[in-house]
Amino acid sequence: MPTLICALDGVLFSEAPQRRVDAWRAANGGVLGLTAADDLADDALRAFRSGLLDEAGYAGHLRRRLSWTGTDEDLVQLWTTGSAVVLEVIDVLSGLRERGWLLIAADDADPWTRRNREGQFGWTSSLFDRVVRADKVGAARPDPRFFADLLRGLPRHGPRLYVDGDARNVSAARRAGLDGHLFSGAAGLRSACRSVLLAST
- Whether residue 96 is found in the same domain as residue 67: no
72 and 131 housed in the same domain: no
Domain count, the chain: 2
pTM for this model (two decimals): 0.89
pLDDT digits (tens, 9 = 90+) for 17-28: 888 899 999 999
128 and 37 co-located in one domain: no
Query: In terms of pLDDT, which residue wins out, 153 or 160?
Result: 160
DSSP 7-72: ETBTTTEE--HHHHHHHHHHHTTT--S-SSGGGG-SHHHHHHHTTSS-HHHHHHHHHHHHT--S-H
In this structure, the answer to whether residues 7 and 28 fall within a common structural domain is no
Tell me what pLDDT residue 38 has: 87
Q: What are phi and psi of 40, to 5 degrees?
A: -75, -25
Query: Do residue 162 and residue 101 come from a single domain?
Result: yes
* Residue 37 pLDDT: 86
* Mean pLDDT score of the chain: 92
| Domain interval for residue 33 | 17-79
Confidence of residue 44 (pLDDT cuts 50, 70, 90): very high
Residues 164 and 180 reside in one and the same domain: yes
Same domain, 36 and 91: no
